[in-house]
Amino acid sequence: MDEINQAIVDLKDEGYDWQTVYTIVKGDYPHLDLSEPAIRGRYYRHSSAHQSSSVPDIYGVQARESVSVDKAIARAKAQWRETLIERERRKRQAVTFSGEGPQCIMFMADSHAGSAGVNYDRLFEEADMIGNTPNTSVVYVGDLVDQFVLQSMSQIRFHTSLTVPEEWAIARGLLELLAHKIVVTVAGNHDNWTNMLVGIDYFKDIVSQMSPDALYGMHEVLFHLKVGNAEWRIKARHKWRGVSIHNPTLGIERAARLDGDFDIGVGGHTHTAGLCRPFVSAGKTGWAVLCGSPKEEDDFADYLGLPKSNESITVPLVFTPENSIIAFQTVEDASKFMWSNHYERNAAKGRAGVTGRQTETSLDSS
């Protein structure tokens, strides 16, 4: 490049006009495709007359600086190591109940706080009952709020009666009833819209305030449920890939056969039914749990012509230390069962205590 610069300076110093200089330089160096301003600029930068001009000292972030390749690779490798550590932690995730007796897991989803079509009386009645039932926990799988905040959904936002802050206030009230029960949370597509829009995972933020120890996943949580010596692998997602008008849990069953990494699959999103059903996967019995929704009036479902949902919202399953699963149709039935079991176990402990004291008394007497 010094050769080209010197040639331009020599031509101009010899008295050639600029047009002649352009013609000669472009003819001698066609591969560079130099423009006329580029040729003039090279002359100004390299001629002796301009070299004698004062050159300032410049300090700061200069244009010549570029991203360090080595530093970028080092940061990328460090980030990947952190990803591997998190992946291994997710593989070992567990919810463990070491005490005696069965544990009831209430699977919930699609509260859609803020929607005018939600039966809020029933939603909060069930939440209150769950919050007051012993040995009961909650796995929540998404769409806590309605929040149509994306620009593409502005026409829906125009027809909602509650503001987004009011929707989250309702959601907070619901979580306050269930905070001590929530063990697993998965965000739904409605919850994730704030993340898509402004990069803020508000669903995770509000759960961390209420139930900081709960497992969390933006899309899914795979965990081991341990009750005594019994153990199940559970995968909870808001939405599963694969739909069928003939089988509402097709997506869960399909994933069980393809992935083979869970015994119980839990989902929501469809608003078509609250149900739990066994299925066969590779010679083993799996369970598909599909949560219902308290959104009883749904214009979008009517628009699509979706079938009406059944009467179930929350899906309760009782897991026993003997490796059994008991499914219930309603929260009320599951709550009665857990209270009955609670009283029976306490009564048994009381009888054992009395027997123990009688034995000690008889020994003292002897």
Dump pLDDT digits (tens) for 250-279. 999 999 999 989 999 999 998 888 999 999
Residue 299 has pLDDT above 80, yes or no: no
Mean pLDDT of the chain: 89
Residue 319 has pLDDT above 90, yes or no: yes
pLDDT tens for 151-190 read 666 666 556 678 888 998 999 999 999 999 999 999 999 8
| pLDDT of res. 25 | 93
Q: What percent of the chain has pLDDT over 90?
A: 64
Residue 150 has pLDDT above 80, yes or no: no
Is residue 236 within 8 Å of 219, Cβ to Cβ? no
As a whole number, mean pLDDT of residues 18-35 equals 93
pLDDT band at residue 64, thresholds of 50, 70 and 90?
confident
Highest mean pLDDT among 235-249, 302-316, 338-352: 235-249
Residue 48 or residue 187, greater confidence: 187
| pLDDT of res. 155 | 62
Residue 200 or residue 314, greater confidence: 314
| pLDDT of res. 149 | 62
pLDDT band at residue 1, thresholds of 50, 70 and 90?
low
Q: Which helix (H) or strand (E) holds 332?
A: helix 331-365
| pLDDT of res. 290 | 96
The strand order across the sheet containing 103-108 reads 215-217, 182-186, 136-140, 103-108, 315-319, 325-327
- In whole angstroms, what is the distance from residue 352 CA to residue 335 CA? 26
pLDDT tens for 212-233 read 999 999 999 999 999 999 999 9
| pLDDT of res. 364 | 59
Amino acid making up residue 204: K
Instruction: Provide the whole-model pTM.
Output: 0.79
Question: In terms of C-beta distances under 8 Å and separation of at least 24 residues, what long-range contacts does 46-50 make, across chains too?
Answer: 46/5, 46/6, 46/8, 46/9, 47/9, 47/12, 47/13, 48/9
Nearest residue to 127 via CA among 179, 164, 167 = 179
